[in-house]
């Protein structure tokens, strides 16, 4: 039987990948973290706030409490990165795919 701890909003000290959409959570950005426990294993989940909200909608819509990591569109319950799908048009204009953003040398 699976169980999740309560989500907690934190600020990233370093970069992580969102377990919902696979996009980067950069250092300094807020994200939601919780622990997913299934049987004898536990996983620390990290999601963008809008992806955490989408995950809640997914559970309400499907009744499923498990999902395959990195398979959904950021902030939406659509699978496969369907950008421009129109479900949440404000999200399609706000978030720029990580591969088009300028890279700052370290």
Q: Which domains does the chain have, with CATH numbers?
A: 2-97 (3.30.1740)
Residues 6+ apart with CB under 8 A from 31: 9, 10, 12, 16, 18, 25, 46, 47, 48, 49
Q: Is the pLDDT of residue 99 over 60?
A: no
Least confident of 19-33, 47-61, 73-87: 73-87
Backbone angles phi, psi at 49, to 5 degrees: -55, -40
Q: Is the pLDDT of residue 96 over 50?
A: no
Instruction: Report the distance separating Cα 37 and Cα 2, nearest Å.
Output: 5
pLDDT, mean over the chain: 77
Three-state DSSP class for residue 51: helix
- Indicate the DSSP class of residue 12: -
pLDDT category at 13 given cuts 50, 70, 90 is very high
* Beta-strand pair 2-4/30-38: antiparallel
Q: Is the pLDDT of residue 64 over 80?
A: yes
Rounded to an integer, the average pLDDT of 82-102 is 43
Backbone angles phi, psi at 60, to 5 degrees: -65, -40
pLDDT category at 80 given cuts 50, 70, 90 is low
């Amino acid at each position: 039987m699976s169980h999740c701890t309560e989500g907690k909003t934190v600020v990233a000290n370093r970069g992580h990948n969102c377990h919902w959409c696979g996009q980067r959570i950069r250092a300094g950005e807020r994200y939601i973290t919780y622990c997913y426990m299934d049987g004898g294993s536990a996983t620390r989940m990290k999601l963008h706030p809008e992806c955490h909200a989408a995950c809640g909608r997914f559970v309400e819509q499907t009744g499923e409490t498990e999902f395959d990591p990195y398979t959904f569109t950021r902030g939406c319950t659509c699978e496969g990165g369907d950008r421009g799908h129109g479900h949440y048009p404000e999200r399609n204009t706000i978030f720029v795919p990580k591969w088009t953003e300028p890279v700052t040398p370290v």
